[in-house]
Chain A
Amino acid sequence: MDTITTKMSREEIFDLMKKFITEVIGEEFVEEMDISPESSFTKDLEMDSIEIVSFSEKIKAHFGEQIDFTGWLSAMDLDQLINLNLGMIISYIEECQS
């Protein structure tokens, strides 16, 4: 498990999230999309729940105990999950680092 030791900037977290999303949904789909912090998971990225499971697993594997990503998601209701965007995740990871 490659747990991080140094604090990442918003840009670095964004790039890492983009890498994870590419791994989950495949490069050919990502190329057609303009991924930004405003991109929502279900609407813009069209990720279904099993893909979000894979994405969560990647975050867990990368950050380890430092971030309780599933715990954070489990506190959300369906509307919040549907509206979840990349920026919110970046902010959450940023907060966990501080």
Chain B
Amino acid sequence: MPILTVNGKSVHIQELNKGAAETIILIHGMFSNLSVYYFNIAPLLATQFHVVLYDLKSHGMSEKVLEGYDLESMTDDLLHLMEALELKKVHLGGYSFGGLIALKMAIRFPERIHKLAVIEAPDPNDDKTRGIIDEYSREFLEHYVENFTDTTKVKMGKRQMERNHRMYEYLFYQTSIKADMELEKGFFASAAIPTIEQPTLLLYGTDSNCLNAGKQLEGIMDQASLIAVPGDHNIPIQEPLVIAEALFHFFKETPN
């Protein structure tokens, strides 16, 4: 299991097709991990590109960290990872919270990013999205698993429920994630997003409650185009091949 030490913290990464000329880094979402890309999306992209997946702090198999969940800190982490891997300029893809990190990365370090793919990034000002963070409880997790994760067809057993519960408990009650997210409420309204010049692909589910966020981004970003894919917020799990192919063609064909 490849573990890198970046800024004194252990980061779990996976690399595919290391010799390829161009690199794609994929960022997963909150409460998820790199496995969202590992099985289908990354192998397809790796037929042509060097693909780097990593687990965000306190997620998957990366080290638990108490602070630094705002977009500034999360993009610092990614920049340090790029430096550790000696990657000068990459294509970047992010899902959900990872999509926000990708946008922030293009704002802060435009010279390090070729093209940008944003999958289902929510508007941090949307109450429905932030509500998850405000109302977490064991009952919430059970309700959430019962009502939402069945769209991905995977039912959680007792051991998994415990594992997830421990992760949510840690992130919600011990880390600064709630307060840090609160600080990002104005992100979509900031003047920075329209300054992004990279060609940007926005991938959203037709039935997702984040679709409006995608339309909003398309409206304020000159170089962005939105593709709506059948599915909800879980499209990378529901339609991995559709997402993988859309990413592949975008990174391969759109002129820089």
Contacts and interface: CB of A to CB of B under 8 A. Distances in A.
B35 A46 contact: no
A71 B14 contact: no
Given A42-B154, A70-B38, A49 B1 contact: no
Contacts, number: 53
A4 interface: no
A19 to B, nearest CB: 16
Interface string A34-78: 000000001100101110111011000000000000110110101
Interface residues of B, number: 26
B39 A81 contact: yes
A52 B237 contact: no
A54 B3 CA distance: 12
Interface residues of A, number: 22
B5 interface: no
Contact of B43 (A48, A57, A70): A70
Interface hub of A43, A53, A57 (most chain B Cβ within 10 A) = A53
B159 interface: yes
30 contacts: A25-B159, A29-B159, A43-B155, A43-B157, A46-B158, A46-B159, A46-B160, A48-B35, A48-B163, A49-B35, A49-B36, A49-B39, A50-B33, A50-B55, A52-B35, A53-B14, A53-B33, A53-B38, A56-B38, A70-B39, A70-B43, A71-B43, A74-B39, A74-B40, A76-B39, A78-B152, A78-B153, A78-B237, A78-B240, A81-B39
Given A49-B33, A49-B35, A71-B43, 9 more contacts: A25-B159, A46-B159, A46-B160, A48-B160, A50-B34, A53-B35, A70-B39, A73-B39, A78-B237
Interface of A: 25, 29, 42-43, 46, 48-50, 52-54, 56-57, 70-71, 73-74, 76, 78-79, 81-82
